[in-house]
Structure 1
Amino acid sequence: MCDANVSATATMAEFGCNEHHQNEVISYMRFARSKRILRLKTVDSCFEELKDSRLVEETFTVDEVRDMLDGLHAVVRGEMEMELINTAHTNVLLLRQIHYQAEKFFLRLQTDISELENRELLEQVAEFEKTDFKATDKMNQESSKPKLAPLNEGGVSELLNKEIARLQEENNKLKAKLRTLESQAMSVLDDKTKAERALKDLRNVQGDQQLSAHANEISCLQNTVATLKDDYERSLTVSAASQNNLQENLVSAKHELLRVQEQLALAEKELDKKFQQTAAYRNMKEILTKKNEQIKDIRKQLQRYEPNE
């Protein structure tokens, strides 16, 4: 019995089957053999029925023999055609079960139709059915209780464990990359805040200096106007003849004041333009532009890895 078991295992091992798959193959071969025996019995019954129903006389004409053979041919042909169709449909259902189980674990099975006509493999299957298959049948009849396979045995569970480990490793890598991107984003935001604060301080300093200069100029002009006004009032009391000259001086002083104020406005615009052309202003503007671009890139990367967030 042990020799028969070893022989069966060695024969099926040549096909690349393990013990579990070997038992599945044996189960299918047993099913196919039972169907084949049943169909052969049907063919035998066709011939027996012909013998019992038609062969009752001692002599037959040619037409009678031809008629009996044609009828037997039609019956046997129908039985064989039905069996071949049923066998093909049974094989389709078997393949459906195998592929359905493979799809559960995201596997894609492939079949080589040319191997179905491999004479060497067909002879091995026939030899197995003649010798080892009979010995396996005896052994299976003696051991009626099936043995349960251990849960930690290789196969589907091993594939699932490998797939889970791979997904966990990939998930950890993505989490680490996400944490790195978040730290980079926080660093860029801090740099942007510092740059904006520095630019604001620089503008405040430049603005205070400009306002101080403008205030000094306006104060000087106001003093000049006040002096001219005092001179004009003094001139009214001194001489009426000089009134026209004082009025003209006052008018010219007012025009001068307007001209100076216009020049101050132009000077303020030029100072603002010069400030925008300074190296410090350009550097700050370039820094802010680069930081904004970095923030946009990091946001795109964050949306790629976690679009919901």
Structure 2
Amino acid sequence: MQSNPSMASNVEEVLLQGLSDHYKHVVESYLKFTHHKTELHLREVSKVIQEVKDSRLLDNQYSLLEVKNIIDALETVLKSTIKSETQYSNHTSLELLRQVFKEADEAGFKLKVDISSIENEETLQEIAKMENNMFPKSVGGNKLPSLKTNSEDILKLKKENDSMREQLTTLQKSYKEMMQEKTEITNQYNAVSDELKKLKNKLQGAHDPNDEKELEELRNKVAHLNSIIKSQNEELEKTQLKATQNEQKVLQLEHEKEAIKKDLVTAQNELTLKVNQTSQFQNMMTIVKNKNEELKELRDKLKLLDPNFQMKE
């Protein structure tokens, strides 16, 4: 749809009223600059979304968790991209103001600037109309002006930097989660060790060498698994420093950690079972059972002698 030339001229006259031809040209040039930057930023966002499609949407079906992870990853990248581009626009606007104020100071002028008026809706709408008139939407889809080589290099470096930052964030998050799980596993191990010490202190009598040997082997196995967890944490710390490494390493470490966690739970269950099966524990349970039976017999005899007799709890 073509814009009306007379309408475009009227809008420009209202906005640029009171400015010399030189400053009118500056305003138009800056508007062109911001327009092309906006188009470039939109292209950058489209590229980010396309990269997610190409790298993450490879299967026909996804679970709810997988979809959530993909959306979260896309959100992180988009936030970073939009924040960076917005900051860039803010900084260029500030640089333009700095140049204007510097020229005014050198000329001995004191400019009056009303910050509160820059969000005037009516004026902003007129500026939007002026931009639309200067850059009408094309039916055939006109191409944007080609970028210079240095601009392409900067965008490429920025893209690589954003990608590296995303990978680092993912690795840091995985490392934090693994550290939390490692703490939980360590606490479980310490709890089992404390329980074993308490049982040893309670159990008295002769020790079966075979039972003690099995217990020692299980304790060594638990200690060995804890050592493996420690080495995995050290490997994660090294991985954190290599921000360019892909997520495959983290997934592999997580799978290994889950396997170790399962082995540790199995070892703890075996340890508890072996403790319950030791001769000391069985002897202790037999003694308690016999004492309970003797106590019951004495209580019955006392009731026969004195029906009103009651045992103190």
TM bucket, shorter chain: 0.3 to 0.5
Rg bigger for which structure? Answer: 1
TM-score of the two chains, using structure 1 as the length reference: 0.40
TM-score of the two chains, using structure 2 as the length reference: 0.40
